[in-house]
Structure 1
Amino acid sequence: MIDNANRFRVIDTGVGSAAYNMALDEAILLHVANGTVLPTIRFYAWDRPTVSIGYFQRVDRDVDRQRLQDRGFSLVRRMTGGRAVLHDKELTYSVIVPGDHPFAKASVVESYRQLSLGLCEGFISLGVQAEVVSLTNESERTKYSTLGSAACFDSPSWYELVVAGKKIAGSAQVRAHNGLLQHGSLLLDLEPDDLFDVLLFRSDDERARVRNEFDERAISVRQLTSRNVTYQEAKQAFTSGFAHGLHLELVESNVTEPEIQDAMRLMQEKYASDSWTLRR
């Protein structure tokens, strides 16, 4: 058993399919929770634009599956909650710890706050002056209230990373398998038309209203810096950000063969299956 709360494994699994990416996050959670590998920070990307929907979302209510198919996008259901996210021009991260780790023993709200400190340092390393916004009181939540669309990036929640009032990262968390998984999108660039083209709305007017609000609530690194930050540059920035912001010792490593085997099993049994994706 491995026991060192401040010592984390950092892995870069690169580009993967939608089903494999979600399966690998859960597989890593299983092994971290069992104590066979260190608490883990993972970075990854997607083999094509992908809409991930939250655990509780209904596909037939929120997503236009025909438009997804026409555009060649993937669809996957996360094991975490929240609303739909289009994964494309981003760095995706996950932080995974066992249930007895201080991050997991903290409340959901407090663990979001703690992990946001690492993300904030990463954005600062890229020249983006992000700040952690607390929405734990009603007045702040009212300030960031939205029209309640199926899209994730139209508002921050609890503790989020914002720049000049606009959201630049979206995260979701689950506690399962006696561990904690938080994963999220770090926006390097943003193409909201792609997302809103594949979401369902009751009318064109509603689509336009929500789209306008989205533009007021979300922003990307490219929009803020006027430069294209590469995946590798972003990965280095957020590796450093997690290390300094959370006072961690990071050990560069790789995903293990047992984790890959479990990910393949979970992909076949769960994340690549319509019985999981369309279950609500």
Structure 2
Amino acid sequence: MALDEAMLELAAGGSTLLRFYGWEPWCLSLGRHQTAPNRLLGSSPDDLRPGVDAVRRPTGGRSVFHGPEITYALACPARAWGGPRAVLQAVHRALAEGLRAVGVPLDTVQSADAEAGFAAARISAASCFRDPAPGELTARGRKLVGSAQCRRRGGVLQHGSILLEDKQHLGDLAGRDIEPRGSAPAGVSGRGPAIGLNELLDPVPDPRLIVERLTDHVARAFGSPAAAATSASAGIATSAALTRLATGYERVHRSGAWLWRRERPLPAA
């Protein structure tokens, strides 16, 4: 999250950046304005329950359980690409083209106003993947890709999860308790309103191939990104400005004040 927020800072200055990454260990993320539930707490008001990892996103929306997935993040100057709504729609089109290129049988993308759909989403304890917003990518009527946006000083950050497997039940704050380190409760299959690529493709392509296809299509939609990477450590970490900014934001994102009290992070020094 610190790197994504640092990307947004550079986007406000005119850069366009793209990265893909994964999660180790698996982790629950809360939307910027979402209330952090007591069930995440350990013995201290500022400590997480043992075995549970959680972060707060700079973007809004509802909780996401980050397990087997490919996470994407694109940051760009909003006006250069027609504004946040145009960015959102262009990213979804590019992701759809990239996923279809590896054989994913996506549903027809809804033509409704995607940004309006995001704005109307009620902030609650329910998982982001419970309800597809207009314009989001689904397969067999179930949500495959969940996305969120953040706008700041003329830059826009859009990031989201492309599920390799559906593990969202492990982090649904409205129902079952948070499970430590991704251990599934007995009798729960994970089949619900979300769907993973493992239910759509046999076998699932190497994630590196999926990322290559996605990168190709996003780059076509947004020109040649100033920095495009297939992991957090390739390409992006070579930017001294990004690394410096990310270090400042990391201090904020690791703090209990940000996770529990929803304080706005200070600009990186």
The amino acid of 1:25's aligned partner reads D
Q: TM-score, normalised by structure 2?
A: 0.76
Rounded Cα–Cα distance in structure 1 between residues aligned with 2:130 and 2:91:
21
**Is the counterpart of residue 90 in structure 1 residue 72 in structure 2?**
no
Gaps of 5+ in 2: 178-187, 230-234, 263-269
Offset of residue 200 of structure 1: 4.7
CA deviation vs aligned residue, 1:229-271 (integer Å, no higher than 9, x gap): 3331221121123245x26335656220121111011111x10
Q: Distance in 1 between matches of 2:130 and 2:176?
A: 18
Q: What is the Cα deviation at residue 98 of structure 1?
A: 1.2
Q: Does residue 96 of structure 2 align to residue 133 of structure 1?
A: no
Matches within 5 A, 1:135-154: 135-136=112-113, 149-154=125-130
Partner of 2:184: none
User: Helix, strand or coil for the counterpart of 1:133?
Assistant: coil
Once the two structures are superposed, residues 212-234 of structure 1 have per-residue CA deviations (whole angstroms, 9 ceiling, x without a partner) of 9x844211111111324333122
| Number of positions where the alignment pairs a residue of Structure 1 with one of Structure 2 | 233
Q: 3-state DSSP class of the match of 2:4?
A: helix
* Offset, 1:155: 1.1
Structure 1 position 60 matched with structure 2 position 30: no
What SS class does the counterpart of residue 153 from structure 1 fall into?
A: helix
Residue 256 of structure 2 aligns with an amino acid whose one-letter code is: D
**Identity value in percent:** 31
Change (3 A) 1:98 1:215: same
In the TM superposition, 1:114-193 aligns within 5 A as 114-130=90-106, 131-136=108-113, 149-193=125-169
Q: 1:69 to 1:237 in 2, by over 3 A?
A: farther
TM-score when scaled to structure 1? 0.73
| Contact map agreement 1:132 1:159 (CA 8 A) in 2 | yes
| Cα distance, 1:39 vs structure 2 | 0.7
1:266 aligns with 2:249: yes
Question: Which has the larger strand fraction?
Answer: 1
The residue number in structure 2 matching 1:278 is 260
**CA deviations over 1:56-94 (Å, ceiling 9, x no partner):** 100026x53349734x23111111001000111111101
- What secondary structure does 1:52 align onto? strand
Structure with the larger helix share: 1
* Match for residue 223 of structure 2 among 248, 253, 265: 248
Distance 1:178 1:279 in 2: 26
- Deviation, 1:180, is 0.4
